[in-house]
């Protein structure tokens, strides 16, 4: 168990390192784009009406929903750096899961059912021929 946790920790650290290396390389090749992007994102995460902590929780939820592994790691670290508790982080993940499940449910109760109604009769065979 301890070895598995050590391997996972190494993987997380490697992912952060890989991201930082990639960002550095990108910045060397396209400094004007990287600097503009970094300035924009830094502005987005500044304290404002929403706290930095709240913004990191939102970003983590979006990262989980979009299944962006690097952002999941990066924003989990951001949450921890902003003092989020494990419960707050996991609740953010729960909201993302509810939203993701909600998106699937909303399509199921609307578009899928509409398609069944429209395609469920004999005309559906003609639509695909």
Q: For position 107, what pLDDT does the model report?
A: 83
Q: How many CA atoms lie within 13 A of 62 on its CB side?
A: 9
One pLDDT digit (tens) per residue for the chain, 129 residues: 566 566 666 889 999 899 999 999 999 999 999 999 999 999 999 999 999 999 999 999 999 999 999 999 999 999 999 999 999 999 999 999 999 988 878 888 888 888 888 898 655 555 555
Evaluate if pTM is beyond 0.85. no
CA distance 77 to 89: 10
Of 108, 57, 65, residue with least CA distance to 83: 57
């Amino acid at each position: 168990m301890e070895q598995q946790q050590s391997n996972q920790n190494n993987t997380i650290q490697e992912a952060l390192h890989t991201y930082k290396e990639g960002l550095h390389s990108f910045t060397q090749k396209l400094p004007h784009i990287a600097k503009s992007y970094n300035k924009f994102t830094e502005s987005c995460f500044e304290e404002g009406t929403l706290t930095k902590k709240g913004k990191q929780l939102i970003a983590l939820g979006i990262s989980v929903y979009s299944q962006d592994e690097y952002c999941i790691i990066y924003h989990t670290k951001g949450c921890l750096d902003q003092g989020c508790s494990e419960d707050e982080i996991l609740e953010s993940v729960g909201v993302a899961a509810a939203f993701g499940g909600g998106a699937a449910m909303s399509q199921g109760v609307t578009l899928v059912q509409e398609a069944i109604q429209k395609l469920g009769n004999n005309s559906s065979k003609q639509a695909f021929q």
